[in-house]
Amino acid sequence: IQLDHALREGLRAQQFVLHYQPRIDLRSGQLRSCEALLRWQHPERGLVLPSEFIGVAEETGFIVTLGDWVLDSAVQQAAAWLHAGTPCPVAVNVSALQFHQTDWVARVARALNAHALPAELLELELTESILIRDADEALERLLALRDLGVRLSLDDFGTGYSSLTYLKRFPLQQLKIDRCFIATMHTDPVDAAIVAAIIQMGQALQMEVVAEGVELAEQHARLLALGCDQFQGFLCSPAVPPEPFGQFLRQAR
Ligand code: G
Ligand code: G
Ligand code: MN
Ligand code: NA
């Protein structure tokens, strides 16, 4: 309860910021897009990571308000990059509670309209648990979001229920391999085989496959050999504040 109060105060006091982590094309090495990751700049506690507050925000329902702020901020930032001549698609993490708001699709459309951002520059990262809760409702929403032109990505793939049925059924354009598999793919042959299988399956379903948490050149080399499309991870860069990311974009041009 105390943390919930502090979170609400923090949002009012503009203590939340988005950092951006680059996503790189494995073959060309080019910057393709980025993921927006929420940080709380607490006056006393310093930079607080989502693992310390997302859970509580989900329990109290504050994640809906906070998630609206994240969506609007990320869309505003992507529009600013576009107008600066350095367009970069931005991916936003979506919580179950947000996704299940009855007017969720309208909220997404409103954010895009408010900042005049072309929908294809916004990507929504969903987890398997969101899709499994009410598959019919989820399908309906995903189709509406696809019709808006927003890109849809399945986050943390491999850790949840991983039903192949819904991979086929849902209009998803991207699959993100969870970093727990990437972390051990160069030492554990079973994890290496799982990563290879996920990449093959993504390709068969014509989905873009992204590897998360790539830290080592060896992981990068193996992913490239396996035909993975993109990677994200400390090997390239952690999530950074908007200004250095903007510099990144200008250099990448
Ligand atoms: O960088 P990292 O510690 O930021 O992120 C930790 C976790 O918090 C990730 O699993 C990520 O999905 C989640 N997360 C980060 N930013 C957001 C956000 O804006 N909304 C939601 N719902 N989750 C987020
Ligand atoms: O939404 P998701 O769970 O994918 O959030 C990404 C999380 O992974 C964030 O906490 C981000 O800071 C973290 N992350 C990104 N790249 C790396 C990496 O190379 N290594 C590790 N350990 N964590 C990473
Ligand atoms: Mn994510
Ligand atoms: Na996530």
**pLDDT tens across 85-133, in order?**
999 999 999 999 999 999 999 999 999 999 999 999 999 999 988 888 8
Q: Does residue 1 register a pLDDT over 80?
A: no
pLDDT higher than threshold 80 for residue 68:
yes
Segment 156-169 mean pLDDT: 82
**Residue 44 token pair:** 């006393």
Q: Which amino acid belongs to residue 79?
A: A
Q: Is the pLDDT of residue 166 over 90?
A: no
Residue percentage of the chain with pLDDT more than 90: 91
The reply to whether ligand 2 has any atom less than 6 angstroms from the CB of 127 is no
Q: Work out whether strand 16-25 and strand 230-231 pair parallel, antiparallel, or are unpaired.
A: antiparallel
What is the pLDDT at residue 158?
A: 85
Measured in Å, residue 89 CA sits from the centre of ligand 3 at: 14
In b/e form, how buried is each residue of 24-33, taking b as 16+ CB within 10 angstroms?
Answer: bebeeeebbb
Locate tokens 């989905």: which residue?
A: 207
DSSP characters over the chain: -HHHHHHHHHHHTT-EEEEEEEEEETTT--EEEEEEEEEEEETTTEEE-GGGTHHHHHHHSHHHHHHHHHHHHHHHHHHHHHHTT----EEEE--HHHHTSTTHHHHHHHHHHHTT--GGGEEEEEEHHHHHHTHHHHHHHHHHHHHHT-EEEEEEETSS---HHHHHHS---EEEE-HHHHHHTTT-HHHHHHHHHHHHHHHHTT-EEEE----SHHHHHHHHHHT--EE-STTT---B-HHHHHHHHHHH-
- Residue 160, pLDDT score: 77
pLDDT at 112: 98
Note whether 110 and 117 are within 8 A (CB).
no
147 CA → ligand 2 middle, Å:
30
pLDDT of residue 87: 98
How many angstroms does the Cα of residue 154 sit away from the middle of ligand 3? Answer: 9
Q: Which ligand is nearest to the CA of 232?
A: 2
Establish whether residue 22 lines the binding site of ligand 2, counting it when its CB lies within 6 angstroms of any ligand atom: no
Among the atoms of ligand 2, which is closest to the Cα of residue 215?
A: 19
- Give residue-wise pLDDT tens across range 188-247: 999 999 999 999 999 999 999 999 999 999 999 999 999 999 999 999 999 999 999 999
Q: Give the Å distance between the CA of 33 and the centre of ligand 1.
A: 17
The whole-model pTM stands at 0.96
Ligand that lies nearest to the alpha carbon of residue 177, given by its number in the listed order: 2
Q: What is the band of 167 on the pLDDT scale with cuts at 50, 70, 90? A: confident
Token pair listed for 76 = 């505003």
The domain tally of the chain equals 1
Range of the domain at 117: 2-252
The average confidence (pLDDT) of the chain is 95
Q: For position 219, which CATH number holds?
A: 3.20.20.450
Query: So what's the pLDDT on residue 217?
Result: 98
Query: Within 13 Å and on the Cβ side, how many CA atoms surround 207?
Result: 26
Which numbered atom of ligand 2 lies nearest the CA of 50? 10
